[in-house]
Every structure is written in structure tokens, then in C-alpha cells.
Amino acid sequence: MVNRIIKNRKGWIEIVEVFIAILLLTGILLLTIKEKYPRENETALEIAEIEYTILRDIELNNTLRAEILSVTPPVEWVNFNTNLAKVKNKIETMSPSNLECAAKICNLTDICISEEFSERSIYAESVVISADINTYSPRQLKMFCREK
């Protein structure tokens, strides 16, 4: 009887040892993966936060909203100089120096893509600008950024 109890304990100890070994291997594997791919995820989150901040600032500014609502979409970034100078200036001044950013105004139902950025990783965020005191004309302002 004593022999049987000792054998049962040895079996449970071996199961616990195998479980701990699996946990250690999984931990090492996760650390290796995290070290290999940490920067891409951090960069994407940082850029998304920057874009969101800029777009939110434009969205809450009555003058900039009116400027966006005064044009007929689609409007490419190169055409922002004429009627959208304040919006362009806002985007350029708030964008960090390590990013190259552009924007485009599109109708809500359109697919809004940038023709300027095509070769590298592009980070995009958009906001709906729908109305001001005088105008109801929903459209989206989409911002595209890439690292320099």
C-alpha cells in the first residue's frame, strides 16, 4: 500500500514538472517574439494617436469645419492650398517632423485613398465632418501619414 502511494505521488510530481516546463518554454517563446516585432506595433499606435489628435482638433474647430464644408469633394492634398489653407496649415504645424502627412476630403460613400503615398507603410485615420451652423453636407476628412 505504501509503495502504491509513493508511485502516485511520483506521477503527480512528474505532471507538475512537465506543466512548469511547458510554461517556461511558452514564456521564452513569447519574449522572443516580442523582441523581434515590438517597434512596428508601437509606431502604429503612436502615429494613430497623433493623427487622431490632429483630426479631433480640426473637427472641433468651427472655422476649419466651415472651410472643409465649403469645398466640393473629392479634394486631393495638392489642392488644399486654395480653399483649405487653414486646414493644411493646421495639419502641417501639428504633424511631428519625423512624419510626412497629407489629407483628402471625400464623400462619405466614396472609397477615400491617397494617390500621393503608395510605396511605404501608410497610417490612415478619418473623421466625419457633417455640419456647421449654416451647412449640412457630410463628408470625411482622411489623413495619411508615413515615416520620413
Tell me, what's the pLDDT at 41? Answer: 65
Query: Do 45 and 20 fall within a single domain?
Result: no
44: which residues sit within 8 A by CB, 6+ positions away? Answer: 123
Query: Do 79 and 140 fall within a single domain?
Result: yes
Contact between 87 and 55 under an 8 Å Cβ cutoff? The reply is: no
Query: Do 66 and 139 fall within a single domain?
Result: yes
Per-residue model confidence as pLDDT tens for the chain (148 residues): 545 555 667 777 888 899 999 999 998 888 877 666 656 567 888 899 999 999 999 999 999 999 999 999 999 999 998 889 999 999 999 999 999 999 999 999 989 888 777 666 888 999 999 887 888 889 999 999 988 8
Could you give the CA distance from residue 44 to residue 146 in angstroms, rounded to a whole number? Answer: 10
The CA-atom distances, in angstroms, between 129 and each of 50, 55, 63, 105 are: 18, 10, 12, 10
Query: Do 50 and 1 fall within a single domain?
Result: no
Tell me, what's the pLDDT at 31? Answer: 81
147: which residues sit within 8 A by CB, 6+ positions away? Answer: 43, 47, 98, 99, 100, 120, 121
Determine which helix (DSSP H) or strand (DSSP E) holds 110, and give its type and residue range. none
Contact between 129 and 137 under an 8 Å Cβ cutoff? The reply is: no
The C-alpha cell of 23 is what? Answer: 510554461
Query: Do 80 and 115 fall within a single domain?
Result: yes
Query: Do 70 and 7 fall within a single domain?
Result: no
Query: Do 63 and 130 fall within a single domain?
Result: yes
Range of the domain at 128: 40-147
Residue 106 phi, psi dihedral angles, 5° rounding: -135, 160
The model scores a pTM over 0.85: no
The string of pLDDT tens digits covering residues 115-138 is 777 666 888 999 999 887 888 889
Domain count for the chain: 2
